Amino acid sequence: MKLLRLGDQGSAVAEVRATLTYLGFLPATPRQGGEPGDSPAGPSAEEQTPDRFDRDLDLALRAFQQSRGLSVDGILGPDTARALEEARHNLGDRLLYLSATHPFVGDDVAALQERLFNMGFDVGRTDGIFGPRTESAVRDFQRNRGLEPDGRCGPRTLRELKRLRRTVTGGRPDVLRESVRILARGTSLLGVVVALDPGHGGDDPGIVSNGLCERDLMADLAARLSDRLIDSGLESQLIHGPEESPTEAERAARANAMEADILISLHADGSSSQHAQGVSAYYYGNARGSSAMGERFAQLVQREIVSRTDMQDCRTHPKVWDLLRRTRMPAVRLDLGYLTNHHDARALGSTEFRAAVAEAVLAATQRLFLPPEMDAPTGQLHVPRVAGRT
Ligand SMILES: [Zn+2]
């Protein structure tokens, strides 16, 4: 192919301009010269014609190259052309399937992988390439939704993905309850593995205030919670012992290795203002979407805790923190009040409060995995105690 660069002219240039405009790297209407943001070097009153490779187009192409991790040279060569082509694809534009000879590559594949990942399916890396793992994730999704598991992302699969996405972002709890993982799990708590992550540990005490230490309080809470979960027929495992404080990524890796069904990370908060108080729950998510199960679980836990204690409700929030991002199961981080606040510190310091939080988390876990009609009777299932629990 012929390389295109500043100064070139022709219909190929007009096409690049149209693509970069479509992708948002150029304003939809041509700018007039002299606006803020123009290159300070040289006059910017160039007459703009779509088929001329002008300075605006050069800057836009460089911005695009930077956003894609390409070498930023302002030259349209094979790599940049391919990246532009990939970026044009929106999910739904074309049928996606596993092709042995010419794998589908593009932003639509990346969007598909991201959605499946957010719903708990194993897509491997979100690399924008439709490979065998993406195909098997599509099959899993289709099976879960009662579609024919042909591994092809066509109109029906897309419709189901979009329908679920609305429920994910809409946050209606009764619809979220249908979330794929729950359907896959069935109606039994047998074998549900809960990974517990007491915040901090070892040399890292976390927040220390009002005579209390976050690390020690959370270790106590994790032990109580673990006992209650096991009493109720679930499996429970601690991510780490009191003597060590793994990194967020390491904690996530351990939960993944345990093949836990959910992860609960336990923290208290601190603030320079002693008025800051309350309980909040965090799940994986950002503006592009969130973990349906994570959000659902965060809401359940938050509701149970607030209704069982007199803690202020600081609500649930999506975050992209490493622990939440790297875990393959729904993960929730709880910030159980401010040790820097007198009210919250008094609560956290009492064993009654920590016992109440353990009950609240247990209730929320059961509600997450059991359908509504089986919600009420708790503690009726029995599995052997898990060996090797710390
Ligand atoms: Zn903490």
Mean pLDDT rounded to a whole number for the chain: 82
Is residue 381's pLDDT more than 60?
no
Return the pLDDT at 110.
Answer: 86
Distance 229 CA to ligand 1 centre (A): 22
Distance between Cα 251 and ligand 1 center (Å): 14
| 166, pLDDT greater than 50 | no
Ligand 1 centre distance from Cα of residue 35 (Å): 47
Specify the fold of 184-374: Aminopeptidase (3.40.630)
Measured in Å, residue 227 CA sits from the centre of ligand 1 at 22
Instruction: Name, in order, each residue with C-beta under 8 angstroms of 78's C-beta and a sequence gap of 6 or more.
Output: 1
| pLDDT for res 283 | 92
Q: Which tens digit of pLDDT belongs to each residue from 26-39?
A: 887 655 544 444 44
- For residue 306, the CA-to-ligand 1 centroid distance in Å is 20
From the CA of 173, how far away is ligand 1's center (Å)? 28
- CATH ID of 107-170, from 1.10.1780.10, 1.10.10.350, 1.10.101.10, 1.20.140.10: 1.10.101.10
Distance of alpha carbon 195 from alpha carbon 162, whole angstroms: 30
Domain boundaries, the chain: 11-87, 107-170, 184-374
**Residue where the block lists tokens 């999506």:** 318
SS3 283: strand
pLDDT tens track for 259-298: 898 999 999 999 998 899 999 999 988 766 677 788 889 9
Element (H, E) at 319: strand 313-319
**Per-residue model confidence (pLDDT) at position 281:** 95
Q: Which of 110-124, 141-155, 374-388 has the lowest mean pLDDT?
A: 374-388
Whole-number Å distance between alpha carbons of 307 and 143 = 37
- CA 247 to ligand 1 center in whole angstroms: 12
Confidence of residue 165 (pLDDT cuts 50, 70, 90): low
Return the pLDDT at 382: 27
Token readout for 358 is 């353990």
> Can you give the pLDDT at residue 288?
67
Domains 107-170 and 184-374 share a fold: no
> 8-17, 185-194, 324-333 — which is least confidently predicted?
185-194
113: CA distance to ligand 1 center in Å? 32
